Structure formats: C-alpha cells, structure tokens
Amino acid sequence: MKELFDSLGIAPPQILIHIVGFAILVAFLKKVLYQPIGKILAQRQDTIRRDRQDAAQFRDEMKRRSGELEERLAHLETEVRDRIQAAEREAQRVREELLEQARGERDRIVEAGLAELRREREKALVEIRNLVADLAIKAAGNIIERELDLTAHRAMIDDIVEHGVR
C-alpha cells in the first residue's frame, strides 16, 4: 500500500493531519457558527409559532366579534322593524282620529244645514199660508162686493187662482 500511496503522491501522515484538521474545523464551526445559527433558527421558529398562535387567537376573536356584531345587527333590524310598525300603527290611529273628527264636523255641518233648511221651509210655509189667507180674504171680499151669478163667480175664482190677488 505504501507503494500505491507513493505512486499516487499521497502521504499518509499528511492525510491524517488533514483529517484531524478537518475534525477540528468541523468542531470549531459547530461551536462558533452552527450553534448560534441553530439558536437563531430556534428563536425564529418560536417567533413564527407564537405569531401563528396570535394570528389564530386574533382570527377566533374576530369571528367572535363578527358573530356579536351580526347578532347586534339582527337585533337592531328587529328593533327598527318594530319601531316602523309602531309608527305605522300610530299614524293609522291618528288618521282614524282625524277621520272621526272630520266625520263629526261633517255631521255637525249637515245637521246645521238641515236645521237651516227646516227654518227656511217653515218660513216659506208661513208666507204661503199668509198669502193663501190674504187671497182667501180678498176673494171673499170681492165675492161679497159683487153679487154675481154662479158662472161669473167661478170665472172670478179661476182668475184669482191663476193670476193672484190684484
């Protein structure tokens, strides 16, 4: 083997020195470089895990708040709907009251008008009675003043009825 190493130009003690140097380099790099980088990576993993947990908690909190808001919104919609219905009922009640007042006013005006018509009718009847009485008195006076025969008497009554008292 020595001959093989010599023909290839390999010196076994030199290889041994390189192996020991490489082992020392690996140990040194592990101690100086890999452990701090490992710690940094572990810290980064912890930070990422905490951030994910925080994000999950935040998402759960947002879902809870969203549910609360939806519930409040539904409650507000119900309350608004109830208030609108109450306002509509109140408006209907006020409308009915106004209609009832208007009907009462209409009835009062109609009654007043009918009473006025009755008074006017009574006045007209009194005037007609007075006219008829005057006509009868005048006709009787004319008949008494004239002593007429039956045909003249009828002609005079027809003339008075047709043309009135002169």
Burial of 156 (0-12, 13-18, 19+ CB in 10 A): middle
Q: ∠ at Cα 20 (33, 26), nearest 5°?
A: 15
Q: pLDDT tens, 24-33?
A: 999 988 888 8
Instruction: Confirm whether pTM is higher than 0.75.
Output: no
- pLDDT the model gives residue 158: 76
According to the model, what pLDDT value does residue 165 have? 55
pLDDT for residue 143: 65
> Is the Cα dihedral 14, 20, 22, 28 positive or negative?
negative
CB 24 within 8 A of CB 30: no
User: What DSSP state is assigned to residue 34?
Assistant: I
What span, in angstroms and rounded, lies between the C-alpha atoms of 148 and 154?
9
Could you report the per-residue pLDDT of 113-153, keeping only the tens digit for each? 999 999 999 999 888 888 887 787 777 777 666 655 667 76
pLDDT tens digits, residue range 90-104? 999 999 999 999 999
CB-based contacts of 142: which residues, under 8 Å, 6+ apart? 156, 160
Whose CA is closest to 131, among 93, 89, 164? 164
CB 138 within 8 A of CB 165: yes
Would you tell me the crossing angle of helices 150-163 and 35-145 to the nearest 10 degrees? 150
Check if the beta carbon of residue 135 is closer than 8 Å to that of residue 160. Answer: yes
Residue that wins the pLDDT comparison between 137 and 36: 36
pLDDT tens for each residue of 37-59: 889 999 999 999 999 999 999 99
Of 105, 156, 113, 112, residue with least CA distance to 135: 156
